[in-house]
């Protein structure tokens, strides 16, 4: 006997009457957080954005997930398209769904985390104007953190008020970037979140 729901509908009848526009859908994106070591210091791979929003600022290689594409495949594709770097087995670190994190609209990002032995040559491609490895330094006083990223003459920084969950990890939804110079979106918080996982 075919199962029916509380309205007496079979699966076929339910699907015929189902309206997929009832619920708004977020944009699904991926970000690649790629770390390495250079001169005994951690470095992170960033791309210089060539388009709005945050044009000219530095961000993780990433972008939108295509229809019928897994987030893992999208992460590998975006990394290669924007930097030339090929990493085919990224590990998911965290899903970020903080409201208003992207002015283009409701965006949920799956962040992938990779550590490679040494920084490989990269170049800005596709919609990235540049790509580079940045050394990571940060200082903390109580809940106030300052993140400093450097590469050659490039200098990026962000000040953050960090809130932690009861188990001690950074709460990405409640932590705030209070001042930022050159780092796009909420990626300063994500660098700090990821480096604590190293």
Q: In this predicted model, what pLDDT tens digit does every residue of 119-174 receive, in sequence order?
A: 999 999 999 999 999 999 999 999 999 999 999 999 999 999 999 999 999 999 99
pLDDT at 3 over 80: yes
Q: Which residues contact 185 (CB under 8 A, 6 or more apart)?
A: 54, 59, 101, 102
pLDDT band at 90 (very low <50, low <70, confident <90, very high): confident
Arithmetic mean of pLDDT, 89-108: 94
Q: According to the model, what pLDDT value does residue 1 have?
A: 81
pLDDT at 5 over 90: yes
Q: 27-195 has which CATH code? A: 3.90.79.10
pLDDT at 89 over 90: no
3-state secondary structure the chain: CCCCCCCCCCHHHHHHHCCCCCCCCCEEEEEEEEEEEECCEEEEEEEEECCCCCCCCEECCEEECCCCCCHHHHHHHHHHHHHCCCCCCCEEEEEECCCCCCCCCCEEEEEEEEECCCCCCCCCCCCEEEEEEEEEEEEEECCEEEEEEEECCEEEEEEEECCECCCCCECCCCCEEEEEECECCCHHHHHHHHHCCC
Nearest-CA neighbor of 188 among 22, 27, 31? 31
Q: According to the model, what pLDDT value does residue 154 have?
A: 97
Q: Parse the chain into domains and list their residue ranges.
A: 27-195
pLDDT at 181 over 90: yes
Task: Give tens-digit pLDDT for 20-79.
Answer: 899 999 999 999 999 999 999 999 999 999 999 999 999 999 999 999 999 999 999 999
Q: According to the model, what pLDDT value does residue 116 have?
A: 95
């Amino acid at each position: 006997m075919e199962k029916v729901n509380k309205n007496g509908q079979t699966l076929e009848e339910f699907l015929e009457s189902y309206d997929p526009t009832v619920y708004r859908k977020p944009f699904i994106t991926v970000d690649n957080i790629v770390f390495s070591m250079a001169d005994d210091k951690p470095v992170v791979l960033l791309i210089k954005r060539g388009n709005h929003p945050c044009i000219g600022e530095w961000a993780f290689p990433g972008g939108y997930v295509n229809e019928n594409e897994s987030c893992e495949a999208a992460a590998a594709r975006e990394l290669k398209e924007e930097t030339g770097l090929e990493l085919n087995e990224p590990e998911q670190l965290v899903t970020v769904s903080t409201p208003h994190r992207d002015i283009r609209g409701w965006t949920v990002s799956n962040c992938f985390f990779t550590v490679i032995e040494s920084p490989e040559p990269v170049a800005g491609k596709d919609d990235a104007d540049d790509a580079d490895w940045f050394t990571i330094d940060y200082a903390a006083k109580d809940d106030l953190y300052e993140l400093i990223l450097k590469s050659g003459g490039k200098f990026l920084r962000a000040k953050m008020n960090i809130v932690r969950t009861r188990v001690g990890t950074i709460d990405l939804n409640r932590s705030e970037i209070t001042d930022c110079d050159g780092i796009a979106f909420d990626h300063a918080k994500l660098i700090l979140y990821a480096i604590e996982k190293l």
